Amino acid sequence: MVESNLTEASNKKLAAGLLAIFLGSFGVHKFVLGYNTAGLIMLLVTVLTCGIAGFVMGVIGIIEGIIYLTKTPEEFESIYIQNSKEWF
Protein backbone atom coordinates (compact mmCIF):
# COMPACT_ATOMS: atom_id res chain seq x y z
CA MET A 1 0.00 0.00 0.00
CA VAL A 2 2.76 2.45 0.95
CA GLU A 3 4.81 1.34 -2.08
CA SER A 4 1.82 2.06 -4.34
CA ASN A 5 1.38 5.56 -2.88
CA LEU A 6 5.06 6.36 -3.39
CA THR A 7 4.94 5.11 -6.98
CA GLU A 8 1.88 7.26 -7.64
CA ALA A 9 3.55 10.25 -5.95
CA SER A 10 6.70 9.67 -8.01
CA ASN A 11 4.67 9.56 -11.23
CA LYS A 12 2.74 12.71 -10.31
CA LYS A 13 5.98 14.41 -9.30
CA LEU A 14 7.58 13.71 -12.67
CA ALA A 15 4.48 14.70 -14.66
CA ALA A 16 3.86 17.87 -12.64
CA GLY A 17 7.53 18.86 -12.73
CA LEU A 18 7.90 18.49 -16.48
CA LEU A 19 4.55 20.12 -17.22
CA ALA A 20 5.45 23.02 -14.92
CA ILE A 21 8.70 23.59 -16.78
CA PHE A 22 7.27 23.31 -20.30
CA LEU A 23 3.64 24.49 -19.90
CA GLY A 24 3.83 26.34 -16.60
CA SER A 25 2.36 29.57 -17.85
CA PHE A 26 -0.92 27.75 -18.56
CA GLY A 27 -1.07 26.11 -15.12
CA VAL A 28 -1.32 22.57 -16.51
CA HIS A 29 0.78 21.19 -13.66
CA LYS A 30 -1.72 22.56 -11.14
CA PHE A 31 -4.56 20.66 -12.82
CA VAL A 32 -2.49 17.43 -12.70
CA LEU A 33 -2.09 17.86 -8.94
CA GLY A 34 -5.80 18.62 -8.49
CA TYR A 35 -5.35 22.32 -7.70
CA ASN A 36 -8.03 23.49 -10.11
CA THR A 37 -8.40 27.01 -8.68
CA ALA A 38 -4.66 27.70 -8.87
CA GLY A 39 -4.52 26.22 -12.38
CA LEU A 40 -7.43 28.34 -13.51
CA ILE A 41 -5.82 31.48 -12.08
CA MET A 42 -2.59 30.82 -14.00
CA LEU A 43 -4.48 30.01 -17.19
CA LEU A 44 -6.71 33.08 -17.01
CA VAL A 45 -3.83 35.44 -16.21
CA THR A 46 -1.94 34.16 -19.25
CA VAL A 47 -4.92 34.22 -21.62
CA LEU A 48 -6.56 37.46 -20.46
CA THR A 49 -3.32 39.43 -20.69
CA CYS A 50 -2.69 38.04 -24.18
CA GLY A 51 0.47 36.36 -22.92
CA ILE A 52 2.04 39.49 -21.45
CA ALA A 53 1.80 38.19 -17.87
CA GLY A 54 2.38 34.70 -19.24
CA PHE A 55 6.09 35.35 -18.87
CA VAL A 56 5.66 35.78 -15.11
CA MET A 57 3.45 32.68 -14.92
CA GLY A 58 6.08 30.80 -16.95
CA VAL A 59 8.84 31.78 -14.53
CA ILE A 60 6.65 30.64 -11.63
CA GLY A 61 6.08 27.37 -13.48
CA ILE A 62 9.80 26.81 -14.02
CA ILE A 63 10.54 27.48 -10.35
CA GLU A 64 7.76 25.14 -9.24
CA GLY A 65 8.89 22.47 -11.70
CA ILE A 66 12.42 22.55 -10.34
CA ILE A 67 11.10 22.40 -6.77
CA TYR A 68 8.84 19.43 -7.62
CA LEU A 69 11.63 17.51 -9.33
CA THR A 70 14.14 18.03 -6.53
CA LYS A 71 11.84 16.68 -3.80
CA THR A 72 11.99 13.02 -2.82
CA PRO A 73 8.78 11.07 -3.50
CA GLU A 74 8.08 11.03 0.25
CA GLU A 75 8.51 14.81 0.56
CA PHE A 76 6.45 15.45 -2.56
CA GLU A 77 3.58 13.26 -1.34
CA SER A 78 3.65 14.84 2.12
CA ILE A 79 3.78 18.45 0.91
CA TYR A 80 1.77 18.52 -2.32
CA ILE A 81 -0.59 15.53 -2.14
CA GLN A 82 -1.43 15.09 1.55
CA ASN A 83 -1.09 18.71 2.75
CA SER A 84 -2.23 20.29 -0.55
CA LYS A 85 0.31 23.13 -0.72
CA GLU A 86 -0.75 24.93 -3.91
CA TRP A 87 1.99 27.52 -4.44
CA PHE A 88 5.74 26.85 -4.35
Say how far apart CA 70 and CA 49 lie, in whole Å: 31
Say what the pLDDT of residue 46 is. 95
Say how far apart CA 2 and CA 88 lie, in whole Å: 25
Q: How many residues does the chain have?
A: 88
Contact 23, 15 (CB under 8 A): no
Domain boundaries, the chain: 19-81
pLDDT band, very low/low/confident/very high, at 27 (cuts 50, 70, 90): very high
Q: Is 27 left (phi over 0), alpha (psi -120 to 50) or beta?
A: left
Rounded mean pLDDT, 5-27: 92
Give pTM, 2 decimals: 0.89
pLDDT tens digits, one per residue of 28-87: 999 999 999 999 999 999 999 998 999 999 999 999 999 999 999 999 999 998 988 888
